[in-house]
Amino acid sequence: MTQEILEKEKENLENYNQNLSTQLTQEKKKCKRMELTMKNDAKKLKQTNIPKEKSLPPKKHFAKYFDNLN
């Protein structure tokens, strides 16, 4: 009886370990796909000519603006 229980537990543990291994493999594949997607997106961004944001106006414009507020 005890031997049967031990065999059953051993089988359950082996199945559990196999399931964990399968899940880990699937998660690794997902991570690889996400990494590739991120790299491809970064390449696409570099390839497109995205205009830089306009720089802030010089300080003298701010001074004039604040003088008008008072």
| pLDDT tens column, 42-60 | 888 887 765 666 666 566 6
What is the pLDDT, as a whole number, of residue 70?
A: 53
The first and second tokens of residue 51, run together, are 């205009």
Cα distances (Å, whole numbers) of residue 49 to 41, 43, 54: 14, 12, 15
Helix boundaries (H) for the chain = 2-47, 59-69
pLDDT band at 61 (very low <50, low <70, confident <90, very high): low
SS3 56: coil
Distance of CA 2 to the CA centre of its chain: 48
